[in-house]
Structure 1
Amino acid sequence: MANFLLERTVPLPLPEAWRRLTEWPRHADVVPLTRVRVTTPEPTHEGTRFVARSGLGPLSFEDPMEVTVWQPPGDDTPGRCRLEKRGRVITGWAEIEVRPGPGGRARVVWREELRVRFVPGVLDGVVERAARYVFGRAMNRLLRRA
């Protein structure tokens, strides 16, 4: 099991930082070889489900997720979203928080616990470093793009 924490402070209002991180199909624009399909009606709420499919051809897998906590931020109040990962290959959870930061900026915190089936625990450090890189890069790109 890999656990990691990512934090960023960005010059965005809380609702805009939240929007950029929680428009699920946008994640496919910033994660290589990945498509995202929302399988429940919009708007996002507790119970929303979506599937990220990553890889090429027979070397791909699906990462189905469900929103289990959905508390959007106000202009000055924090927001929190929790996703449960329920796939055959990837399990665990992710939490995204957006809260007031210094100077009217948004402070974003992304926590994740990731389990990759068929990968022995001795490789958890490798999984954590790879996930930190991929999700950190995705988070940076999502927050930069309007």
Structure 2
Amino acid sequence: MPLVRIERRTRMSAEEAWRRLTDWERHARHVPFTRITVLTTPPTRVGTRFTARTGVGGAGFDDPMEVVRWEPPSAGRPGRCRVEKRGRVVLGWAETEVSPEADGALVVWSEEVRLRGAPRPLDAPTAWVGRLLFGRVVSGLLDR
């Protein structure tokens, strides 16, 4: 699976960056033709499940995900969240780390993504598209 890594610095606090990055439904504002439905009751924790539905009209696919690590930032420590993709089309995982800094926070988003059945030669183009898409999502979520 191709690994995508996005880094962004922000002047907002680590806690605010974390809140924005883990507002699952808000992600859909930055991914074309996608809506996200959280399937479990708040607050987010290990075991929280949500599905991103991407498509137009009746054509599309679901990307079901589950939070398997949930450690919000606190007392100057970084926050870490890991989500595993549990779908029939999209496989992999995403990890978000939000570290407090003197003038804000450092966000590192890492993701391994693979389309089920896609041949290995598609890894490079998948990673390229992933960098564009996930970079757009992270930047959009951190915009004021």
Decide: shared fold, TM above 0.5. Answer: yes
Distance in structure 1 (CA, Å) of the matches to 2:33 and 2:130:
15
Count of matched residue pairs? 144
Map residues 125-144 of structure 1 onto 2, 5 A cutoff.
125-144=124-143
Q: Determine helix, strand or coil for the equivalent of 2:111.
A: strand
Instruction: Give 2:9's aligned amino acid.
Output: T
Residues 11, 105 of structure 1: 8 Å contact kept: yes
In structure 1, the residue matched to 2:46 is 46
Q: Which has the higher helix share?
A: 1
Distance in structure 2 (CA, Å) of the matches to 1:112 and 1:6:
9
- Which range moved further: 19-28 or 113-122? 113-122
Q: CA deviation at 1:118?
A: 2.7
**Ranges in structure 2 where 5+ consecutive residues have no aligned partner:** none
TM superposition score normalised by structure 2: 0.96
Q: Determine helix, strand or coil for the equivalent of 1:60.
A: strand
Q: CA deviation at 1:84?
A: 0.4
In structure 1, the residue matched to 2:110 is 111
Q: CA deviation at 1:57?
A: 2.7
Would you identify which runs of 4 or more consecutive aligned residues in structure 1 move more than 6 Å?
Answer: none
Distance in structure 2 (CA, Å) of the matches to 1:143 and 1:60:
28
Map residues 1-146 of structure 1 onto 2, 5 A cutoff.
1-74=1-74, 76-101=76-101, 103-145=102-144
Instruction: Give 1:22's aligned amino acid.
Output: T
TM superposition score normalised by structure 1: 0.95
Residues 15, 75 of structure 1: 8 Å contact kept: no
CA displacement 1:63-88 (0-9 Å, x = unmatched): 00000000001252210000000000
Q: Which has the higher strand share?
A: 2
CA displacement 1:6-39 (0-9 Å, x = unmatched): 1011001010000010000001111110000000
Instruction: Give 2:61's aligned amino acid.
Output: F
Q: Determine helix, strand or coil for the equivalent of 2:46.
A: coil
